[in-house]
Amino acid sequence: MIYDRPYMRSDFGRREISVLAWIIGITIVAFVVQTIFRVWFKSTFIEDIFALSQIAMANGFVWSLVTYGFLHAGPLHLLVNLLVTFFLGRELLPILGPARFVGLYIGAVIVGGLTWLAVSFTHTGGILLGGSAAVFALLTVFACFYPNKPITFLLFFIIPVTVKPKHLALIFLGIAVFGLLFQELPGNEYVAHSAHLGGMLAGWLYFRHVHHRTGEFANVRPKIEVPKWFRRKAVPSTPNRFKVNVTRPRNVRAEVDRILDKINNSGFGSLTDREKKILDEAHDALNRR
């Protein structure tokens, strides 16, 4: 039966959160190693090799486009990024699936790093640390999926504030644009607003051109409709319901198993309308037994 499969039991959420555990665990370990070299050995070896900078790229350290996202400037920087990653990731994993989630996270880090590199040529020096680009990408994707879903967070870890994701994303977008134009480009700011903008761009591109086109949210695209006065009156009819041939349980079970494997690999959002209807009908048929 389909409920005997591991990803249909109650531990399915824990399988997905394990992807978050890997990201969070690697980030914490990287910060610990970074701190050990910085405090105990008075060395910037980790930053020199794994942080993103013009010098690192000139020396051929192309891996720094990814590894910088797992290093951080301090404990508070680390804590904020990991908390936001956990809470947003917990909501997005059931939609994206583990593979797409990791792809989005790493892709946002790369796009944020490239954006920062492009801007950093306006002034010399400096390195880029932190997974903020990925955090801003997750926020953007979450705002695209749930623009009006109220979320509550603690401002300065004290004041509870409730806001809609679309408004929160617009606020951070405005802050990033302002910081880029009036602080980062003139060389008066140490915050990498350009990396934040790159992360938001990566999140939007993912939603618009990767998930949005093939996932369950494809039907939210704007449509051009004929004016009501020009439409023909609809004739009432009995809707055609999709039915699963339950007289062949082996065929149905094989099809359901294939769909569940697809959910396990790519997330629920990768299913077509036909596959979702098959799951619904199979679920109803099992409940009637």
Kindly indicate the confidence band of residue 196, based on its pLDDT and cuts at 50, 70 and 90: very high
**pLDDT more than 70, % of the chain:** 73
Give the per-residue pLDDT at 266. 67
Q: If you average pLDDT over each of 9-18, 54-63, 157-166, which comes out highest?
A: 54-63
CB-count exposure of residue 53 (10 Å: 0-12, 13-18, 19+)? buried
Token pair belonging to 244? 């699963």
Q: pLDDT tens digit string along 68-95?
A: 999 999 999 999 999 999 999 999 998 8
Average pLDDT of the chain is 80
Q: Is the model more confident about 43 or about 220?
A: 43
Rounded Cα distance between 253 and 8, Å, is 14
Rounded Cα distance between 274 and 145, Å, is 21
Residue 233 φ/ψ region, left for φ over 0, alpha for ψ in the -120 to 50 degree band, beta for the rest = beta
Judge contact between 177 and 185, C-beta under 8 A. Answer: no
For the chain, which residues make up each domain, given as ranges?
17-219, 242-287
CATH, domain 17-219, list 1.20.1540.10, 1.20.1250.20, 3.40.50.11060, 1.10.510.10: 1.20.1540.10
Out of 120-134, 142-156, 195-209, pick the least confident.
142-156
Give the per-residue pLDDT at 279. 75
b/e 162-196 (16+ beta carbons within 10 angstroms → b): eeebeebbeebbeebeebbeeebeeeeeeebbbbb
Give the per-residue pLDDT at 13. 43
* DSSP code for 119: H
Q: Which helix (H) or strand (E) element contains residue 82? A: helix 75-96
Judge contact between 93 and 19, C-beta under 8 A. Answer: yes
